[in-house]
Amino acid sequence: MTSEIVLRETICTLAASLFDRGLTGGSTGNISARTQDGGLLVSPTGTSFGRLDPARLSRFDASGTLTDGDPPTKEMPLHSAFYETRSTAGAVVHLHSCHSVAWSMMPDADEDNFLPPLTPYAIMKLGKVKLLPFFMPGDPAMGEAVRGLAGKRTAVMLANHGPVVAGKDVEAACNAIEELEDTARLAMMMRGINARMLTAEQVSGLVERFDVEWDD
């Protein structure tokens, strides 16, 4: 198990990497991870991914009580919903990444399967991504929408807002959300072009070969 000191450093290092590459800007985005004792470390409200302080991360105990650090992100309902409905969730990341937000605005974006089958990697890392409607930032209804999925999705896209991804640990969650953004970028690049996508048979093969969660 990763020590809490190492986990704090890892959260801040990966968040800074996302910020430095323009995947979320200003004070947008939030990130959290499970601790060894069942608690949570969460990025504080109003902070920048580029300047997170490991010592000031919001610290919750296993009962959900804030015990240390600065006040947490206002998007806690999102994070809590994933942890409560997905027993495998060890970390949750939410970004305001440009291309995924742009793709969420397209009138033909599929609500049940947000990302088109352009490459195998988004399928392998994310399964089907659910496109949720627009909510006011911080609205607890976002968490209720995630709970309504009953743990069947590892990732959702908040329309006109940004993606949210749960992973087994911080690295897995960050890798997966980067794959989501890359695929949305490809989708925008291919928009209006008769692109050769993966076939239904190829998608089914990936789902079976890599044991992907893929509810029909």
Q: Any catalytic annotation for residue 75?
A: yes
Q: Which residues pair with 205 in a beta bridge?
A: none
DSSP classification of residue 50: G
β-strands 30-34, 40-42 pairing: antiparallel
10 Å CB burial of residue 21 (0-12, 13-18, 19+) is exposed
Which pair of structure tokens corresponds to residue 106?
A: 């397209």
Which pair of structure tokens corresponds to residue 198?
A: 């993966």
User: Which candidate in 75, 178, 179, 181 is catalytic?
Assistant: 75
Q: Any catalytic annotation for residue 179?
A: no
* R_g over Cα of the chain: 17
Q: Report the C-alpha gap between 49 and 19 in whole angstroms.
A: 6
Which pair of structure tokens corresponds to residue 192?
A: 């209006």
User: Which candidate in 4, 84, 121, 171 is catalytic?
Assistant: 121
**Closest-CA residue to 144 (of 33, 29, 135, 127):** 135
Distances (CA, A) of 152 to 88, 92, 147, 148, 176: 11, 15, 9, 9, 16
Using DSSP's 3-state secondary structure scheme, residue 34 falls into strand
Active site residues: 75, 121
